[in-house]
Amino acid sequence: MSIFVNKDTKVVVHGITGKEGSFHARACIEYGTKVVAGITPGKGGQKMDEVPVFDTVSQAIKETGANTSLIFVPPPFCADSIVEAVDGGVKLIVAITEGIPIMDMLKVKNYLTTKACRLIGPNCPGIITPGECKVGIMPGKIHKKGNVGVVSRSGTLTYEVVDQLTKAGLGQSTCIGIGGDPVTGTNFIDVLAAFQADDETHGIVMVGEIGGNAEEQAAAYIKEHMTKPVVGFIAGLTAPPGRRMGHAGAIISGAGGTGAAKIRAFKENGVHTCENLGEIGRICKTIF
């Protein structure tokens, strides 16, 4: 087992004829992912290599049985593309696009809560179950099949962590980048719950960042609901506090959001805390 994606995942790539879309669709196929369709409105009937291109998501699903969307559409059109995937009936959407207006994402997120569909991202590297399926832009080669689940808010920082795990001999069950935007489809707790329920995952690495209070909430969830060991890391501990414009942000987040508050939340809730990225592989080796 693994979470969210596996060898049965059938991917439709939105924006497959674009520069990014075609490049990464090919890399996913090379990794072994079943990319069954692509979408570019107006280019239906064409092919990207061997992959049939459709005008709409519903057509692609009907013809190919696609169950997962991978989105590379530019920011102004991305919310539309996500909603098309939801209404088309896919079960999982991975949105790579960076720079979607937050107002668009607020609407999309509130719409999604009424649907049986999971969104990962936007502004994320995607998801990979090593040896089975890669739905994203991460370098496949650094991953290795195994029993550590990885969940992170960032891209290259996740690669760094995975690379250290693999070099330390620790393979991964599934690695997910949930994205760094203020509003994301999937949060830490969603992923932690899925890892807890997954037989193949024996331990979890959670990579957070300063800002917001997702890490604090996740830490409380870990204490309450998780029996598997979790190693936590927070990027940006030494970053100077941002110059705020108004008072409103401070009113909402209170004392939360700082690196120190997150580390404290980790420690108080039994999360094994790594405070130097250079040592995360070694620390995981000791704990897992």
Q: What is the smallest separation between the CB atom of 162 and another protein, expressed in angstroms?
A: 10
Is the Cβ of residue 116 or residue 244 nearer to another protein in the bound state? 244
Q: Give dist(CA 35, CA 27) in Å, integer.
A: 10
CB nearer another protein, residue 36 or residue 162 = 162
Q: Is 168 helix (H, G, I), strand (E, B) or coil?
A: coil
How far, CA to CA in Å, does 174 sit from each of 78, 93, 134, 148, 202?
A: 25, 16, 10, 7, 11
Which residue in 124, 106, 123, 64 sits closest to 89, CA to CA? 64
Q: Which is nearer to another protein, 116 or 248 (CB)?
A: 248
Nearer to another protein, 65 or 101 (CB): 101
Kindly tell me which of 10 and 107 has the beta carbon lying closer to another protein. Answer: 107
| Peptide bond preceding 122 in cis form (omega within 30 of 0) | yes
Specify which residues 176 forms β-bridges with.
Answer: 127, 151
272 is catalytic: no
Q: Which is nearer to another protein, 60 or 283 (CB)?
A: 283
Of 282, 261, 129, 142, residue with least CA distance to 208: 261
Q: Which residues bind another protein (CB under 8 A)?
A: 23, 75-76, 99-104, 106-107, 109-111, 125, 137-139, 141-142, 152-160, 163, 180, 182-183, 207, 209-210, 212-214, 233, 235-240, 243-252, 254, 275-279
Residue 155 DSSP symbol: S
State the minimum distance, in angstroms, from the CB of residue 188 to another protein.
13
The SS3 assignment for 139 reads coil
**Angle (CA) 96 104 90, round 5°:** 55
Helices (H), the chain: 19-31, 57-64, 75-88, 102-112, 156-167, 188-197, 214-225, 248-253, 259-268, 280-287
- Select which of 14, 143, 202, 247 is catalytic: 247
- CA distances 102 to 49, 70, 74, 93, Å, are 35, 20, 14, 18
What residues act catalytically? 247
